[in-house]
Structure 1
Amino acid sequence: MNTRLLRRPLLGAIATLSLGLGLALPATAQSPYPSKPVRLVVNFPAGGPADLLARTIGEYLQRSLNQPFVVENKAGAGGNVGATDVARSPADGYTLMVGIDTAFTVNPHIYDNMAFKPGDLKPVMIMASSGLLLGVSQASGIKRFGDLLSEGRKRSLNFSSGGNGSPGHLAVAMLSNSTPIKTTHIPYRGNTPAVTAVLAGEVDGGILATPGMLPHVQAGKITALAVTSSKRSQLAPQLPTVAELGLKSLETEVLYVVMAPAATPDAVMDVLQKNITSALQQPEAKERLKSLDMFYEGITGEAAARRLATMSTRYGEIVRNIGMKAQ
């Protein structure tokens, strides 16, 4: 008897039975997401607000999803370096960007050539928002906002920022456009060295993330003049908003976002959105947001995309009116 002839019908019957019972054969089996480590690419240096927030949610995601969430800092070109890395990665949920909105809302208007298009990435979530703090060095001799206006009419004031296209860069350009003062933008590689420059008197001031400035304000080493948010800072409620100083056009906010390659499957996006929402509701995350002077947003899907598009339109108009370009 030919055993090969008997084996073929038997194998066929097993396959048919498996399909009929809904059993997955090894060739089509898929592991649930995530089944391996996930990279969280922060497109600014370590120690800044985006980095601290990434590490906070990464710790929770690692516990809730039972896989490592590894934070990697890839700074440069106003956040474009890190965003490009993620845009060129497979759309499988294993490489995500955690950063701020400016790579998508400002950079397309000030960089002539970018290695990625904003449409190459889509928002997983807008996690939080924050304003900035306008502060000046002790060496500048400026004590009040009126002094800033007076000194800025006499000479060009040097302002640091976290890099070309960063919120501080845009805010300095808006300050110069909204008042008669003259400014010179001095870009640094991230918020932390930009704050250090103000502290050391290398520059006259900066319009930078509040948490990085405030310890030095409280120590009397940096003079705080105002915040750029529409409401007062949670950490320094005594400071006026720019609108209260008559400069509502200077109002600006920073959005802290998680972005994924545009073709990332909806099922993966759902897992991420659910778990990041849960992460941000944890007591330690709420405390982190407050310590960074951030307000919870939790916006996903089309609503998040519309928010970014609206900001891009506004900033595009400002950039064109000012003639701002990456230096």
Structure 2
Amino acid sequence: MIDYWANIPSLQTELAEVRDLMKHSISLKNKEVENAILEMLEHGGKMLRPAYQLLFSNFGKEKNREKRLSLAASIELLHTATLIHDDVVDKATIRRGQKSIAHQFGSDVAVYAGDYLFVTVFKILAKHSASLENIEQHAGSLEKILTGELGQMNNRYNLNMTVDEYIENISGKTAELFALSAFVGASESKASLTISRLAYEIGKNCGIAFQILDDLLDYTQNSDTLGKPVLEDMKQGVYSLPLLLALEEKRADLTSFLQKKHEMTSFDIEKIEQIIHDTNAIERAEQLANHYTEKSLKKIKRLPLEETNSREILYELTKSLVERKR
């Protein structure tokens, strides 16, 4: 929610403008689907990715407001497109507390809706991107996101999946978009190559921490708080870090339930959750999230000071992500 940024009025104002730009870029003949997309944008999350893009754009010498807002809109539209396609693959019925587009209109319509947003993203890039190199960066990031998604798909119901494989998957699936947001903000504002590369690494580490913490919420929050059913990914065979770590301690106990796959009952799920909480998996996952957050914070300290105070804002924003764990 935009209210998340109430303590940073300048950023709050820009993100509200970004949301309006996103809405104005959507125009479909099928008004029912158009309204569903607009509803999804209206009930968007905290808009962290465009926020990172806007903050990193302050480290460059180019100060083109229309361009930075448009590129921030493209980042969030890209994120939204991936979510719509995720819901098709995962057969998700709820997204951000609302019925998913796939659930409302069917998988075919949802795929086309996601594809439409991808086209919209590249139309914005074609108009505002300073160089072919940055469009290539977007294409490369899309490839990494897809690779992460495919890696996750290939590991469905894989009880032998490793933590390293999990990190590799989320590095593409989630972290790459954070990295792209930071990199585009810096490079398109004509920041130095050193700062642009630093921005990419900051975004990457932040994105890994963000996804670990997001997966942790499945085990520490309820459905009303999350805006989606808890442990839904696990039921679909997507095993996140807490479960992988718990398998290292209680493999036999967990396997007896997980092998049931689609036949798992609510009782089975409760037992799995109980077993995980009986291990130190939650604490170990939190520690790994903190590790990647610290890597980001150390790199943020290497950014130059400038008049908009963006370095301090980025530092506090990144540090605050660890507070999502409870």
Shorter-chain TM-score tier: under 0.3
Give TM-score scaled by structure 1 length.
0.28
Q: Greater CA radius of gyration, 1 or 2? A: 1
Higher relative contact order (CA 8 A, sep 6+): 1
Give the number of the structure whose residues are more often helix, by fraction. Answer: 2
